[in-house]
Amino acid sequence: MASSGRLVMSTPQETHPIIIEHVLGISSKDDQISRLLGVRRVVSESST
């Protein structure tokens, strides 16, 4: 089963992050974007 998640992208030029909800295959998308940009920062949220 493919995992899904939230993709949050931010740049120094933008005041608000770009948020894309329910991204299927989030792990592979994160890896692809990281290779393309050469940068990755992983933020984990825990629901309480």
pLDDT digits (tens, 9 = 90+) for 2-19: 688 888 888 888 899 989
What are the sequence ranges of the domains in the chain? 4-37
Helix and strand numbers (H, E) in the chain are 1, 2
45 or 37, which is more confident: 37
Residues 9, 23 contacting (CB under 8 angstroms): no
- Which parts of the chain are beta strand (E)? 4-9, 18-24
pLDDT at position 45, please?
A: 57
pLDDT at position 48, please?
A: 46
CA distance 34 to 30: 6
30 pLDDT exceeds 60? yes
User: Would the pTM of this model clear 0.85, i.e. be above it?
Assistant: no
